[in-house]
Amino acid sequence: MLKLGNLVYIFIFLLSYSCNQKAVKIEYLQNESEELNISSLFSSIQTIVLETRDDALIGEISLVRYGENRIFILDKRRALSVFVFDGEGNFIKKIEGGWTGPGYLNFPDHLVVLKDELMIYDPRQNKVMVFSLEGSFKHESSLKDTGIYALDMIANKGEAVFFDFYSEPNSLFRLVDVNGEEAVNQLNEFEEVKVVSGRRLPYVSLTKDNKIRVQLPGSFCYYEYDKAGLSNYECLDFGEENNFQGQSEVIFKDYYEELVQKELSMLRGEFVDLTGHSLFSIQQGAAVIFSIYDKEENKAYPIRLKNDLGGICPDIESLPAYNVHPGELTLGFFPGDLKLIYAQSDKQQELLDFFKTKAIEDSDNPILFRLIE
C-alpha cells in the first residue's frame, strides 16, 4: 500500500489506523451570516501593482505563488505562460508556453516554488521543468515512467507533492513525489463518492501546522495528513443527505446538474488556514458562498470581510481558487474591474487618485492585494 519515497514528510499510512478514524462533524450555520472586519483576521494589506508591458500582458490569473523577492503569476487559459515579477511588481521575465520539445514549455498547468527554484508541471508533455527564480531554464524530468497523472501539486518542506486522482483505480487518491514514490495511498474507507471527468482546483493545500489537506470534488469532507498518516477527517454538516451512493463513481456533469437542480451543498477546494480560523468556499446550487470555520467553536458560517485597514482593497465576498497559502490571502483585480466595484461609492475618488499617481490604465495588468496575518 505504501512505498517510502523522498518526501521530507513520509506519511506512514497504516490501514488499521485510518480505519479507526471517525469523521469530525463541523456544523454549518447557513442562516448565521456575519460581516467581519479584515483586521479581525489579518494585520496588513500589501498593494502590489504589477508592471504592464507589451511582452508581459496577463489575461487571467490562474495561480499566484511567492518566492524570495519574487512573484509568479500563472495564466494557463489565455497567455499560456508564467510571469515572473520581483516583490514590488517589476517585470523580470515571461516563461512562454505553446512550444514542444526538450527545454520548451507547452502547457503550464501548475507551479510550485522549491527553495531557490521554480517547478512547472506540463501535463501535455508529461514532464516537470525547473527554472531559477529569475525564470532561467535549468533542467527537466519526464514523468512518463512514474505513473503520475497529477490534478494538483503543492510544495511541502521544499519538495513537490502531486495529487493523483486517476492512475490507481483501487485508490480514492494518492499523494506522490516527483519520482512517483507514494506518500499516501488513500483507499475509499469512508464511502466517498468519487466524482470523475471534471476539472476543479485546488484539491491540495497546507494548514498552518504544515499538514497536507486534501478536499475531493463533490465531498462534504476533507482529509489532513501529518508525518504519522491521516490525522483528521472532518466533514461539514449541511443537514443534507448525499444523493449518490457511497463508494460509487459519478461523472462530474451528472453530479453538478443534480447539485444545481436540487440546490444541494458541496465543499469547494478554495481554502486558507489561519490561526484560530479557516476561510473556505461552499457551493449551494449554482451559488458560491464565502465562509469561515471557527476552530474553537467548531462551527462554520457565511461571511463577508469589510476592509477597515485602508487602501483600495475591496471588501471580500469570495475566495479565489488560486489561494492555498496558510496564513495569508491574495486577491487580484484588473484596474477596470476595480473601477466598476468602486463606481458611485465614497472610495471612488481615492481609487482614481491612486490610478493617477501610479499612471494606471484600465487595461493594465492586475493589481494584487496580499493580506497577511
Residue 346's contacts (CB-CB under 8 Å, 6 or more residues apart) are: none
- Domain of 100? 24-372
Identity of the amino acid at 347: K
User: Average model confidence (pLDDT) for the chain?
Assistant: 89
Does pLDDT of 6 surpass 70?
A: no
Instruction: Give residue 13's pLDDT.
Output: 40
Q: Let me know if 22 is exposed, middle or buried by CB neighbors in 10 A (0-12, 13-18, 19+).
A: exposed
What is the DSSP track for 211-262?
A: -EEEE-TT-SEEEEEETTEEEEEEEEE-S---SS-TT-EEEHHHHHHHHHHT
User: 133 lies in a domain?
Assistant: yes
Per-residue pLDDT, 85: 98
263 versus 352: the higher-pLDDT residue is: 352
Confidence of residue 73 (pLDDT cuts 50, 70, 90): very high
CATH value at residue 35: 2.120.10.30
Q: Note whether 230 and 13 are within 8 A (CB).
A: yes
Q: Please say if the pLDDT value at position 152 is more than 80.
A: yes
Query: Does residue 2 form part of some domain?
Result: no
Alpha helices in 171-215 (DSSP H): none
Report pLDDT digits (tens) over 16-55: 344 456 788 999 999 999 999 999 999 999 999 999 999 9
pLDDT above 90: percentage of residues in the chain: 68
Q: Within a domain: residue 7?
A: no
Write out the H or E segment, with its range, that includes residue 191. Answer: none
- Region 46-75: mean pLDDT is 96
Tens of pLDDT, residues 114-144? 989 999 999 999 999 999 999 999 999 999 8
If one counts the domains in the chain, the total is 1
Q: Does residue 4 fall inside a structural domain?
A: no
Does 13 map to a domain? no
Angle in degrees, 0-180, between the axes of helices 348-358 and 335-342, rounded to the nearest 10: 160
Question: 214, 226 in Cβ contact below 8 A?
Answer: no
Non-local (6+) Cβ contacts of 148 within 8 A are 162, 164, 167, 176, 180
Q: Is 340 inside a domain boundary?
A: yes
Which of the four pLDDT bands, split at 50, 70 and 90, describes residue 165? confident
User: Which pLDDT does position 206 carry in this prediction?
Assistant: 93
What confidence tens digit (pLDDT) does each residue in 180-232 have?
899 999 988 887 877 776 666 678 999 999 999 998 877 888 999 998 899 99
Residue with cell 512518463: 144
317-353 pLDDT, tens digit each: 999 988 768 999 999 999 999 999 999 999 999 999 9
pLDDT of the residue at 195: 79
Residue 98 domain-assigned (yes or no) = yes
CA dihedral 329, 334, 336, 342 (to 10 degrees): 10
